[in-house]
């Protein structure tokens, strides 16, 4: 309104108003742009929400299993092995469509509601999934952090100094990488029959090679940019240039690599457990639960002829798949959000 009034009196200076428009827009930093593009990415947000939910739920495995179920992860009840999921019958009971099954199941389990059924020893699957998820997730996240720190440090050093340092480091990495990590992991796992902590350390210390390579490549790119030269001209030392200029510039790359890494580590942990070389039972992890379930695939109920143990395969399998999927989606979403070169290509 006011603009038209003014323009009625005299012609407004075009340059000035263009400037005003410019100023009214909030200044956009790199991170605020990334955040705003992430905010519109529903898929990535869903994946993040899922992971957050998983972390919260598994972290509070104790209270949740006490209130919802009432047994611990290793409480056995051999009389009640291979009970089916209680969830479906419970809903039908509440709805009144099937008043028989759920109370019968409760009777057999001694009043304990096994929401997702029980395994071959009558342990509650829901509770074991919670505790197992805690192990699987924390092993993966901590190991990813270790390999992130190692990879970034070594990669930065190799890329920054170049020359002999780079040659030696890259030669070492290329040597180790040409042995499939799984070989080393299997041998090492057999030597130490690992506790969760030991396994985490191994996964971390054997997982940083990829990050280091990525980082090195990126450092080579950043090193050639003008602001590095400027920093050097101002008299900054190597360490300062590396940590204040080169590493921050590589954060987008690192974040994406790490998100995908966590997914891969969850897979690796479950593969090791699956081969019987990871974390040993009775400590539950999604991998060793799945491994156990495989042995009971052919089991059928002698009376009804229905499969007895398929729920032991479905639930851990579903959780592993969804979690890995979520980390991949987060990786993809972050790449789109953090890579300014992709911004105009959509």
Partner 1 sequence: MTAYIIRRLLYAIPVLFCIILVTFLLARSLPGGPFDRAGDKTLPESIRQNLEAKYGLDDPAYIQFANYLGGIVRGDLGPSYSYRGRSVNQIIKESFPISLQLGILSILLAVIIGIPAGIIAALKQNTWIDYSSSFVAILGVSIPNIVLGPLLIYVVSVQFGWLPAARWGANYKQFYFGWIPPMTKDFWIHAILPVITLGTAFSATFARLTRASLLQTIREDYIRTARAKGLTEYGVIMRHAMKNSMIPVVTVFGPLLIGVVTGSFVVERIFGIPGMGEFFVTSITNRDYPIVLGTTLLYSVGLVLANIGVDLAYAWLDPRIRYD
Interface stretch with partner 1, choices 72-80, 128-136, 157-165, 319-327 (CB under 8 A): 319-327
Nearer of residues 106 and 182 to partner 1, judged by Cβ: 182
The residue (of 34 and 47) whose beta carbon lies closer to partner 1 is 47
3-state SS, residue 124: strand
Residue indicated by tokens 């593009």: 37
Q: What is the Cα–Cα distance from 299 to 305, expressed in whole angstroms? A: 9
Count of other CB atoms within 10 angstroms of residue 330:
27
By three-state DSSP, how is residue 118 classified? strand
Contact 134, 58 (CB under 8 A): yes
Indicate whether 170 belongs to the interface with partner 1 (CB under 8 A): no
State which residue, 5 or 178, has the beta carbon closest to partner 1: 178
Q: How far is 143 from 97, CA to CA, in rounded Å? A: 48
Annotate 300-334 with three-state secondary structure: ECCCCCCECCHHHHHHHHHHHHHHHHHHHHHHHHH
| Selected binder of partner 1 within 32, 174, 238, 244 (CB under 8 A) | 174
Q: In this chain, which of 175, 195, 238, 244 binds partner 1, going by CB under 8 A?
A: 175
Tell me, by CB under 8 A, how many residues bind partner 1. 40
- From the list 33-41, 140-148, 236-244, 270-278, the region that binds partner 1 by CB under 8 A is 270-278
Shortest reach from residue 97's CB to partner 1, in Å: 26
259 binds partner 1 (CB under 8 A): no
- Under the binding rule (CB under 8 A), the answer on residue 236 touching partner 1 is no
Q: Number of C-alpha atoms within 13 angstroms, CB side, residue 72?
A: 4
Cβ closest to partner 1, residue 45 vs residue 322: 322
Among 145, 181, 249, 283, binds partner 1 (CB under 8 A): 181
87-95, 183-191, 201-209, 219-227 -> range binding partner 1 (CB under 8 A): 183-191
State the minimum distance, in angstroms, from the CB of residue 90 to partner 1. 25
Is residue 190 involved in binding partner 1 (CB under 8 A)?
A: yes
DSSP state of 85: P
CA–CA dist 110, 127 (Å, integer): 16
Q: How far does CA 283 lie from the centroid of its chain?
A: 21
Is residue 320 involved in binding partner 1 (CB under 8 A)?
Answer: yes
Residue from 88, 294, 301, 340 in contact with partner 1 (CB under 8 A): 294
168 is an interface residue for partner 1 by CB under 8 A: no
Instruction: Indicate if the alpha-carbon torsion angle 218, 223, 224, 225 is positive or negative.
Output: positive
CB burial readout 1-24, b (16+ within 10 A) else e: eeeeeeeeeeeeeeeeeeeeeeee
Q: Residue 294 CB, nearest distance to partner 1 (Å)?
A: 5
DSSP 8-state assignment for residue 344: G
Subset of residues 116 to 135 that bind partner 1, contact rule: CB under 8 A: none
Q: Which residues bind partner 1 (CB under 8 A)?
A: 174-175, 178-184, 186-188, 190-191, 263, 267, 270-271, 274-275, 277, 287, 290-291, 293-294, 297-298, 307, 310, 313, 317, 320-322, 324-325, 328-329, 332
């Amino acid at each position: 309104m006011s603009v038209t009034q003014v323009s009625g009196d005299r012609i407004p200076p075009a340059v000035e108003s263009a400037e005003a428009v410019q100023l009214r827009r909030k200044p956009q930093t790199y991170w605020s742009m990334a955040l705003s593009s992430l905010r519109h990415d529903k898929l990535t947000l869903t994946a993040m929400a899922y992971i957050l939910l998983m972390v919260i739920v598994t972290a509070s495995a104790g209270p949740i299993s006490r209130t919802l179920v009432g047994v611990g992860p290793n409480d056995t009840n051999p009389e009640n092995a291979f009970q089916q999921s209680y969830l479906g019958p419970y809903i039908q009971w509440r709805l009144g469509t099937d008043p028989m099954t759920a109370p019968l199941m409760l009777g057999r389990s001694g009043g304990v509601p096994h929401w997702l059924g029980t395994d071959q020893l009558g342990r509650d699957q829901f509770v074991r999934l919670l505790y197992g998820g805690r192990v699987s997730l924390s092993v993966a996240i901590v190991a990813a952090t270790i390999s992130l720190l190692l990879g970034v440090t070594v990669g930065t050093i190799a890329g920054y100094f170049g020359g002999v340092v780079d040659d030696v480091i890259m030669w070492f990495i290329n040597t180790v990488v040409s042995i499939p990590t799984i070989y080393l992991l299997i041998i090492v796992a057999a030597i130490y029959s690992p506790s969760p902590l030991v396994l985490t350390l191994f996964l971390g210390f054997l997982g940083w090679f990829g990050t280091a390579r990525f980082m090195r490549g990126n450092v080579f790119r950043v090193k050639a940019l003008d602001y590095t030269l400027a920093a050097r001209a101002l008299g900054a030392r190597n360490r300062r240039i590396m940590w204040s200029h080169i590493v921050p510039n590589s954060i987008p790359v690192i974040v994406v690599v790490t998100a995908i890494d966590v997914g891969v580590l969850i897979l690796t942990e479950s593969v090791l457990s699956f081969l019987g070389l990871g974390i040993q039972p009775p400590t539950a992890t999604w991998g060793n639960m799945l491994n156990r379930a495989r042995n009971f695939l052919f089991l059928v109920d002698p009376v009804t002829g229905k499969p007895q143990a398929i729920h032991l395969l479905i639930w851990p399998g579903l959780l592993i798949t969804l979690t890995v999927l979520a980390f991949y989606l987060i990786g993809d979403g972050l790449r789109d959000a953090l890579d300014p070169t992709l911004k105009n290509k959509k």
